[in-house]
Structure 1
Amino acid sequence: MNTWISRGVVFALSAFGLAACETAPTNSGARSLPTQALLANGAVLLVAPAGYCVDTRSKKDAFALLARCDTMGGETGAGVPLGVITATALPATSDRALPDAAEFQATRGVRRVFEQFAGRSQTLVRAEGPAPAPGLSTLHWRGTTRVGGHMLAVAVYGPEGSAATGREGRQLAQQVMARSRSGTDALLRSRQAAGQTPAAP
């Protein structure tokens, strides 16, 4: 699965990756930032993990970038690892299998897959590949899950030495995928109860 990153997103990754320290500072003048975003013409509700917010400047219909809230002027609680998360929603048929380690290995930007965590609802790998922006580690996490008739592809990047490149990065990816599935399911139920459906692509 190709999780293509535009030049604008690379710039954002670089800015977020280098603009903050690993320990989130206290920000008394913090702004309220969005933690959710609708993707794929409203079919997928992307929900950020704790301490992360949506970068509305880089959002597209099928793509969003998440960063630690304090790097965008918001408030982040203690213990949130510094990193950036990309999320891409792609249409998928119900019989489309989740990617395995070999498919992740063949993905653009992946040289090697170290670990794989596969389940019925999601697949997650720790991979190595060229850093998408200066200052970010070559180690990162990639995951895929089914959400709202789409495949939601998630990638978690962090600066060299950031906890986001280790176990905590895996937890960030798992949170995004689990929260987005639950949020999308709840949104679909509320629309069905109201007699609404997402607009056709």
Structure 2
Amino acid sequence: MSTWTCKRSIVTLVVTVGLSACSADSSDGGFSLFEPIEQQETPDGARKNHALRSAKMARGEIAIVPPNGFCLDKRVHSRDFTVLARCDSLGGRGGAQDAALGMISVAVAPAADDDVAAHVLTALVQGQGEIVEMRQDGDVALAHLRGDVPDGADPAHWRGVIRIGSHMMSMAAYAPPGGVIAGAQGQQVLSSLAMRSHDASLASDLAGNTATGAPETRKGLGGLLRGLLD
């Protein structure tokens, strides 16, 4: 593995996750992403919808598919980082599905050929607070930490990393004080986000490769039916 490439990827992930948290914490007049937007006071009484149900990152190579009840915040979404929160905290109508209040920051960076999610996560969490535990959930490397969180968040939080194609995706899940995402549910939320995004990204890549391949010979009805039954 190229040490420089790995370090550069880690630096990119650290910086963009930090920018995500700062942007989410202070955006649009300081609204908290830990409460529904209907409960927040606005200067003009407007109720804007900032929610995205899905989006692409890394020049379209990574598809971000939120966990149930979460949406992306289109105010801070870019090709390198994004922020997710419960849909109603972003003004989304419906779709919260009783999800826990919380905020998730996501960053992506190019990976070296032999970068491994667990190794990248270990480097990311060094000096970022007390490490309560580290674990692996399939392809997702996860860490439970205390400390170094955005204003208004519970000190306990989760971080995770998954490799998707030629990129590493880093995630951090924060909860309001005492929120369930600060505990075991934070792991579930990050694992869901990681695997949904992983599967959607690979499916999108496969569809793109198929679309650019050689066209198939047009089949008659009989040939089409035989193909479906084979």
TM-score of the superposed pair, with normalisation by structure 1: 0.82
Distance in 1 between residues matched to 2:167 and 2:33, nearest whole Å: 29
> Which position in structure 2 is the counterpart of 1:160?
177
Distance in 2 between residues matched to 1:145 and 1:18, nearest whole Å: 25
> Which position in structure 2 is the counterpart of 1:34?
52
> Which position in structure 2 is the counterpart of 1:59?
77
Once structures 1 and 2 are overlaid, which stretch shifts more, 46-55 or 117-126?
A: 117-126
Distance in 2 between residues matched to 1:113 and 1:35, nearest whole Å: 32
Which structure would you say has the larger Rg? Answer: 2
1:98 matched to 2:98 = no
SS at match of 1:140: strand
More contact order relative to length (CA 8 Å, sep ≥ 6): 1
Structure 1: stretches of 5+ with no match in the other structure: 22-28, 197-201
Residue-by-residue CA offset, 1:94-137 (whole Å, 9 max, x unaligned): 20122347424315xx111111112552200111122212x111
> Which position in structure 1 is the counterpart of 2:31?
15
Q: Percent identity?
A: 25
**Selected match of 1:173 from 190, 197, 215:** 190
SS at match of 1:178: helix
Give the structure with the higher percent helix.
2
Residue-by-residue CA offset, 1:64-86 (whole Å, 9 max, x unaligned): 10110011111244431100101
Q: What displacement does 1:12 show? A: 4.2
**Selected match of 1:183 from 172, 187, 200:** 200
Q: Are 2:116 and 2:163, in contact at CA under 8 Å, matched by a contact in 1? A: no
**Selected match of 2:142 from 124, 128, 144:** 124
Residue-by-residue CA offset, 1:28-82 (whole Å, 9 max, x unaligned): x996942211111111111110000010110111111011001111124443110
**Selected match of 2:102 from 62, 83, 91:** 83
Structure 2: stretches of 5+ with no match in the other structure: 1-9, 38-46, 214-230
> Which position in structure 1 is the counterpart of 2:228?
none
Q: Are 2:106 and 2:171, in contact at CA under 8 Å, matched by a contact in 1? A: yes
TM-score of the superposed pair, with normalisation by structure 2: 0.73
CA shift in 2, pair 1:187/1:78, >3 Å: closer
